Amino acid sequence: MTSYVYNGTGRIWLVCSWEKGLICYGLTLDIIGAIALISFFVLVVGTVFFGWLGIFPKAIRRKLHD
């Protein structure tokens, strides 16, 4: 039997399982979610930033050297 506790926004933040004793791993889910969100954000920003560097490398180098 598994019970899901919602925090009001529809997102599950606490998952408790009684199959092998009472196990709650909502914090683990939050940590994994946070890591995934940060990784996605870094990937998007990195792609945009390095793509921009690839397109305008000379202009950026001039600004940095000035």
56: confidence class by pLDDT, cuts 50, 70, 90: low
Output the six-digit token pair for 1: 């039997």
Judge contact between 15 and 24, C-beta under 8 A: yes
Q: Is the pLDDT of residue 10 over 60?
A: no
Per-residue pLDDT tens over the stretch 24-53? 555 566 677 778 888 888 888 888 877 766
Kindly write down the DSSP assignment for every residue of 3-56, as one continuous string: EEEE-SSS-EEEEEE-BTB-EE-HHHHHHHHHHHHHHHHHHHHHHHHHHHHHHS
2 and 17 Cβ atoms separated by less than 8 Å: yes
pLDDT of residue 47: 82
pLDDT at residue 3 tops 80? no
pLDDT for 35: 82
